[in-house]
Amino acid sequence: MTITAAMVKDLRERTGAGMMECKKALAETQGDIEAAIDLMRKSGALKAEKKSGRIAAEGRVVITLNADQTKAALVEINSETDFVAKDTNFIEFAEAVAAAVLSSGVTDPSALANVALASGQTVEEARAALIAKIGENIQVRRAQLIEAGDGHLATYLHSNNKIGVVVVYTGADAELGKDLAMHVAWNNPAGLDESSVPAERIARERDIQLDIVMQTGKPRDIAEKMLEGKMRKFLSELTLLGQAFVKDSAVTVAQLLKNKNASVTSFARFEAGEGIEKKQENFAEEVAAQARQAG
């Protein structure tokens, strides 16, 4: 069978491998691209290494619960584009990784790479194979295992699969638990209460607010009262218990829980791509660069 340039180009785009390597694989598989990809999976690790420098700031969050809903795995898997994050193969990989976290209890990404999936492949082997097939950098960014203990678990996964929340609560019904998880997804609290906010973050905000207050020229005793008021407001807006409840702004989450004789022990929230600096593409510059290379 004749191996055309278009076939080689297609395989190169999907695997990131060299032209001669692609041509050889296609020749050995009589032009079957899927079979050629399978044949080239031994070089998948090299492919993954090549792609690892590209920014993977898209992706999805997956939540998996055990049968009695006493444990939940919260996982973020990243891709370069939102298109790939919606690909069936990517989704299957993300769900398989979450299942592996749940069964193994391993959450550190470097250790998780060696954990076996239900397919028999390790997480890293499956990741490298997926990169070879899809042609994008894929990263297992983070994972967390949440246990209910003496409480219950409530989960919320936003419709775009980019924000996932697990809340551990006691003394409330499932509906309130779901509302609390939705609140965490929407308001993104930095911690449960003041004690869970890093001291350096509080100190930094206090310095900023002190500067602002001192610029008013108020007497020191009044300035100090103003500062404390500003810090109370800052912490209330930052912490889950201090925030106004998303479904009833007339009450704080702390007041709501007190009224329901309930409590929140902890929560976890993942948002796909948060904190990752996305590359700003300049299409005109890219075209110009390609033109220069062609010339």
Spatial contact of 26 and 33, defined as CB atoms under 8 Å apart: yes
Pairing of strands 263-271, 163-170: antiparallel
pTM (predicted TM-score): 0.72
pLDDT of residue 24 exceeding 50, the answer is: yes
Residue ranges making up the domain that contains 109: 53-147
Would 110 be classed as within a structural domain? yes
Separation of CA 242 from chain center = 25
Instruction: Grade residue 279 by pLDDT with cuts at 50, 70 and 90.
Output: low
What is the structure's pLDDT at 182? 96
Per-residue pLDDT averaged across 127-149, rounded?
Answer: 92
- CATH number of the domain at 33, please: 1.10.8.10
Q: Which of these, 36, 35, 26, lies nearest to 4 by C-alpha position?
A: 26
Percentage of the chain lying above the pLDDT 70 cut:
86
- Per the DSSP assignment, residues forming a β-bridge with 142 are 76
Tokens encoding 280: 């700003």
Would 174 be classed as within a structural domain? no
Query: Looking at the structure, do residues 59 and 142 belong to the same domain, yes or no?
Result: yes
Would 46 be classed as within a structural domain? yes
Q: How many domains, in total, are found in the chain?
A: 2
- CATH number of the domain at 140, please: 3.30.479.20
Would 277 be classed as within a structural domain? no
Would 18 be classed as within a structural domain? yes
pLDDT tens, position by position, 28-42 = 889 988 888 777 765
pLDDT of residue 191 exceeding 50, the answer is: yes
- Tokens 């905000």 correspond to 205
Would 26 be classed as within a structural domain? yes
Would 269 be classed as within a structural domain? no
Would 234 be classed as within a structural domain? no
Query: Looking at the structure, do residues 84 and 132 belong to the same domain, yes or no?
Result: yes
